[in-house]
Amino acid sequence: MKTTLSFVGMLSLVASAFACGGGETEVKTQEEAKPVETAPEKTPEPAATTAATTTATTTTSEAKKPAAPPPVVEDMKPSEDPKPLPSVKITAPKNDASIGDLAKAKDFEIKLDVKDWATVEKGPHVHLILDDLPYKAIYDTKKPVKVSELLPAGTELKEGEHTLVAFASRATHESVKGKGAQQLVTFWVGKKGKSTFDPKKGHVVYSRPKGENKGAMGKDLLIDFYLFGTTLDKGEKVKYTITGPSLTTPLTGEFTTWAPKVAKNLPKGDYEVTVELVDKDGKPSEGPLTKTTRKGITVDPEAAASDPHAGHGTEPAAPAAAPAPAPAPAAPAPAKK
């Protein structure tokens, strides 16, 4: 009997131990047995990734963007002489004649005689130049031109000796340099005096560039002039200088032959161009037409061309006239009684 009680007692002690958690074996419930879920790692926002990628790409593109080519002046292959060569003559005023006092001289009519040169609006024409002023393009060579029409705004005609030059020009404003395609005369305003013009000496008459130069005409800026008394065949040269705020240093050089040049890669901006005739030793020539600086030259290579006829500049177009106002509506007719 004692043995039976002892065995039962021992079973009670074991059960009691399990109930109080005193055993080493831990029994887990179904909920406690589930694996613990960890929060997923946050991925970067797509917008932030795109912005970073775009910035890096832009920076790389800017770094690889080639630098703009530097401004240069290059020789231009002259156009072939037309056949037959045009003939350009100034029939009025006569060489070395007086055209009257200042009041009369402004209204004096210059007359031309042009042959074998079919001038047409926006096409072949004649450059007419008073002294060293900007030329006037003449498309109707049979129509007289008053002296006052050759004076830019703000320029006054003065008494004394003046030069007048006319030469044939292509639609591109490149001059025709063949013999007979030009003429130069001197005349007087007021009383005649001793002439300072020596036709035996060399003279240079500025032609291009001038005014507004957009699109193609700004990308290839024509530099052209007319020579009298020389063809640069005895060592003479025509020096050129191009200056402007867009240039870190002036563009300079010289013509050793009578052929046009073009300035390329000029940034958008305002420029001045100077041409000067020098002798074989580099000394400036003397005379009324030996050095000219043309101001007010604008270049905009990326703009639409201001003139469709090959792109070397024209006079600014006159503003279009305002449209006429629409007529007022008529009053309604009175109702019949």
- Mean pLDDT for all residues in the chain: 82
Q: Is the pLDDT of residue 329 over 90?
A: no
Go through the chain and tell me how many residues it has: 337
Count Cα atoms within 13 angstroms, Cβ side, for 50.
3
CATH topology (fold) of 198-313: Immunoglobulin-like (2.60.40)
Sequence letter at residue 264: K
Distance in angstroms (rounded) separating the CA atoms of residues 33 and 28: 6
Per CATH, the architecture of 81-197 is what?
Sandwich (2.60)
pLDDT confidence tier of residue 31, bands split at 50, 70 and 90: very low
Residue with tokens 């705020």: 245
Q: Tokens 């177009």 label which residue?
A: 317
> What percent of the chain has a predicted confidence (pLDDT) above 90?
68
DSSP 220-241: EEEEEEEEES--S-SS-EEEEE
Greater pLDDT, 4 or 163: 163
Do residues 98 and 190 make contact, with C-beta atoms less than 8 angstroms apart?
A: yes
Q: Mind listing the pLDDT tens digit for each residue in 274-307?
A: 999 999 999 999 989 999 999 999 999 999 865 5
Which DSSP helix (H) or strand (E) runs through 61? helix 46-64
Tell me how far apart the alpha carbons of residues 181 and 85 are, in angstroms, rounded to a whole number.
7
DSSP 62: H
Output the six-digit token pair for 9: 């007692």
pLDDT mean over 164-192: 97
Q: Are 165 and 186 in contact (CB under 8 A)?
A: no
User: With b meaning 16 or more CB within 10 Å and e meaning fewer, what string describes 246-255?
Assistant: eeeeebebeb
Percent of the chain whose predicted confidence (pLDDT) is above 70: 71
Helices and strands: H and E segment counts in the chain: 5, 17
> Which residue blocks in 200-288 are alpha helix, DSSP H?
216-219
Kindly state the average pLDDT of the residues 38-42.
Answer: 54
What is residue 26's predicted lDDT score, i.e. its pLDDT? 39
Given this model, what pLDDT does residue 68 score?
86
In sequence order, the 6+-apart residues with CB closer than 8 A to the CB of 9 are: none
Q: How far is CA 335 from the centre of its chain?
A: 65
- H/E stretch holding 9 reads helix 2-19
Per-residue DSSP letters for 41-59?
PPPPPHHHHHHHHHHHHHH
| Cis peptide preceding 84, ω within 30 of 0 | yes
Q: Which one is predicted more confidently, 243 or 25? A: 243
Take residue 295 and report the two structure tokens written for it. Answer: 């101001």
Q: Of 169, 206, 173, 167, which Cα lies nearest the Cα of 185? A: 167
78-127: pLDDT as tens digits: 999 999 999 999 999 999 999 999 999 999 999 999 999 999 999 999 99
On the question of pLDDT at 72 being above 60, the answer is: yes
Q: Is the pLDDT of residue 159 over 70?
A: yes
Residue with tokens 């020596």: 198
C-alpha 247/C-alpha 271 separation (Å) is 9
Q: Mean pLDDT highest for which of 30-44, 130-144, 316-330? A: 130-144
CB 166 within 8 A of CB 73: no
Give 152's contacts (C-beta < 8 A, 6+ positions apart): 133, 134
> For the chain, where do the domains classified as CATH 2.60.40.10 start and end?
81-197, 198-313
Cβ of 92: how many Cβ atoms within 10 Å? Answer: 16
Q: Give the pLDDT band (50/70/90) at residue 327.
A: very low
In contact, 284 and 278? CB cutoff 8 Å:
yes
